[in-house]
C-alpha cells in the first residue's frame, strides 16, 4: 500500500513561487523520510477573472507498512 503527497508552488514551503534550489532541498528532505518522486510537471490552470496561470505539480509516494 502507498500514500501520496502532492506539492505545488502555492505550498508554504515554496513561499508561493518556484525556486529550483528550494525544490531540491525539499525533495531531499522528503526522500530521507521515504518519499519518492513519481511525477513533476507544469500545468496550466484556468483563472476566473484573469489570465490562465501555470503551476508546478510534484507527486510523491511512499510505501506504508
Residues spanned by the domain of 50: 2-63
- Burial class for 4, CB neighbours closer than 10 Å (0-12, 13-18, 19+): exposed
Number of structural domains found in the chain: 1
Q: Which residues contact 28 (CB under 8 A, 6 or more apart)?
A: none
C-alpha cell at 23: 525544490
The length of the chain, given as a count of residues: 65
**Cα separation, 17 vs 10, whole angstroms:** 7
The pLDDT assigned to 13 comes to 75
Report pTM: 0.78
Q: In what order do the strands lie in the sheet with 2-8?
A: 2-8, 53-63, 36-45
Tell me the per-residue pLDDT of 8-64, one tens digit each, with 9 for 90 and over. Answer: 877 777 776 778 898 899 999 999 999 999 999 988 878 777 888 788 899 999 999
pLDDT at 5 over 70: yes
Amino acid at each position: 500500500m502507498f500514500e501520496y503527497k502532492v506539492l505545488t508552488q502555492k505550498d508554504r514551503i515554496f513561499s508561493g513561487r518556484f525556486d529550483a534550489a528550494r525544490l531540491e532541498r525539499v525533495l531531499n528532505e522528503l526522500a530521507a523520510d521515504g518519499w519518492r518522486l513519481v511525477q513533476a510537471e507544469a500545468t496550466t490552470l484556468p483563472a476566473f477573472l484573469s489570465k490562465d496561470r501555470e503551476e508546478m505539480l510534484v507527486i510523491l509516494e511512499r510505501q506504508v507498512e
